[in-house]
Amino acid sequence: MPTEIVLLSEVEPTSAVMVRAAAVDHPDGTFLEYRDGQIRQFVDAQGRALLSIYRSRPVREPAQAADALVRAPTAFGLWTDMAVPYGDTGAGRALAESIAAAVGGTIADRV
């Protein structure tokens, strides 16, 4: 079962920003888009999934959103679901953190 995490930010992570963030640690990996960019995925050089990213959504009820997280930041406007595959060695989580840093956001664990 994958680990569900959330990118909380004020800026949506575009495909270009995510690819630049991934190029540092995964230069031989591949970036895939499905359903017109609603689902995006990084795979490593061997074709193993590293991280799946779903379309960002505006946060309409910050208190309710914060209740769904282990530790929520005090302010955020966008919620981006991400999934790290079962058995991740840490590469998927590290990639999520790199993407978050690129947009000035933070990664939070789901409850």
Which residues, given as ranges, of the chain have pLDDT below 50? none
Return the domain boundaries, the chain: 3-109
- The pLDDT value recorded for residue 69 is 92
Find out whether 83 and 2 touch, Cβ atoms under 8 Å.
yes
- The pLDDT value recorded for residue 73 is 82
pLDDT digits (tens, 9 = 90+) for 59-80: 999 888 889 998 888 788 999 9
CATH architecture under which domain 3-109 falls: 2-Layer Sandwich (3.30)
Residue 90 DSSP code: S
- The pLDDT value recorded for residue 6 is 97
pTM: 0.93
